[in-house]
Structure 1
């Protein structure tokens, strides 16, 4: 599920794997392997992606379909 979300959000933002890999300071091939689910993505990398896209880790992990981060009101 995670690999599908990170691919979909990248494509929704009209970005290439190379652009995201550069932002993450990793090789494009490594990022491609994340998107294919061939290797696990670290929590640190997931946090960077969530911040970059302005979304939550829960969204990237497939725990919610809400793209925007939670607000204090959402947590009540």
Structure 2
């Protein structure tokens, strides 16, 4: 699974709007929609914010793994 598919899936699983996540990332809703569609690459720092927010590992959110593990505690 590609990361753009994964971030859409996680958002929908949490019943969140694109606008809510765009606000979290301090970007416009259209930009976030472009992330989910794969039209625009999401910056790594935004992936980190999403991984923390959803409490999932970077491997999971990027689609490198299908094992849903928690975000590592510092």
User: How high is the TM-score relative to the length of structure 1?
Assistant: 0.88
- In structure 1, runs of 5+ residues without a counterpart are 72-76
What's the counterpart of residue 7 of structure 1? 8
- Aligned equivalents of 1:25 and 1:64: distance in 2? 27
- Aligned equivalents of 1:22 and 1:31: distance in 2? 9
Q: RMSD over aligned Cα, in angstroms?
A: 1.2
In our comparison, the structure showing a higher alpha carbon Rg is 1
Sort the Cα spacing of 1:62 and 1:27 in 2 relative to 1 into closer, same or farther, 3 A.
Answer: same
Displaced runs of 4 or more, over 6 A: none
- Aligned equivalents of 2:46 and 2:71: distance in 1? 19
The Cα of 1:10 is off from its aligned counterpart by 0.1
- Aligned equivalents of 1:70 and 1:31: distance in 2? 22
